Amino acid sequence: MSQKYIYLLFTNTRTLLTKAIGLYTKADYNHVSLALDPRLKEVYSFGRKQLYNPFWGGFVEENTKEKLFQNADCTIYAYPIDLKQCQKLQETLTFFKNRKDSYHYNLLGLFGVMLNKPIQRSNAYFCSQFVAYLLIKAGIVSFDKPPELITPQDIQQLPGLISIYQGKVQKTV
């Protein structure tokens, strides 16, 4: 049986919200998504649902060919998982996909990160909170703090990540 992997896509899209978050984090990448395949055909996160409306967000199946990602910088990591973890991850993603209209972006949660106070809202996540939740729920990793305080930088520091690409998103598709 061949090794299974998930792919963690960290991006800097240079949107107003990303720039604002970057002022606080000073990090190169302030958005994280989880992909199931190395060609980034199935990419999931919490973010904007419409290109020109940053205030309407929620669970999204991201399309890396969209304008939002055309000039975005990124780094991509592979992370090894076993078959049981893969199945649990797919079950959890199916749950979100089947209820995608029920979920919202946890903008208040970003302030919780700044204050180091977890803000848990029903059916609302921000990108790294969502990816952390998926990783925990599938039994892939655990964190020393709640998902409501996990940043993309926390995920980027996971031991065992395999760096596979750094550059423009448009060069990966």
**40-55, pLDDT tens digit by residue?**
999 999 988 876 666 6
Query: Left (φ > 0), alpha (ψ -120 to 50) or beta: where does 6 sit?
Result: beta
- Given a cut of 90, whether residue 123 has pLDDT beyond it is yes
User: Which pLDDT does position 49 carry in this prediction?
Assistant: 80
* Threshold 0.75, pTM exceeds: yes
User: Which pLDDT does position 22 carry in this prediction?
Assistant: 73
pLDDT band at 69 (very low <50, low <70, confident <90, very high): confident
Going across the sheet that includes 162-168, the strands are 53-62, 43-50, 31-35, 4-12, 73-81, 162-168
CA distance 97 to 87: 15
Interstrand relation of 31-35 and 43-50 (parallel, antiparallel or unpaired): antiparallel
Question: What average pLDDT does range 95-115 have in this prediction?
Answer: 94
Return the CATH number at 39: 3.90.1720.10
- Given a cut of 60, whether residue 173 has pLDDT beyond it is no
- Given a cut of 60, whether residue 23 has pLDDT beyond it is yes
Tell me which residue range forms the domain holding 129. Answer: 4-171
Q: Give, rounded to a whole angstrom, the gap between the first and last alpha carbons of the chain.
A: 27
Q: For the chain, give the percent of residues with pLDDT over 90.
A: 71
CA distance 65 to 62: 9
The dihedral of CA 117, 7, 31, 160: what is its sign?
A: positive
Residue identified by tokens 């958005």 is: 31
Q: What is the DSSP string of the chain?
A: -PPEEEEEEEEE---HHHHHHHHHH--S--EEEEESSTT-SSEEEEEEEETTEEEEEEEEEE-TTSHHHHT-EEEEEEEEE-HHHHHHHHHHHHHHHHTGGG-EE-HHHHHHHHHT----BTTEE-HHHHHHHHHHHTTS---SS-GGG--HHHHHT-TT-EEEEEEEGGGT-
Number of domains in the chain: 1
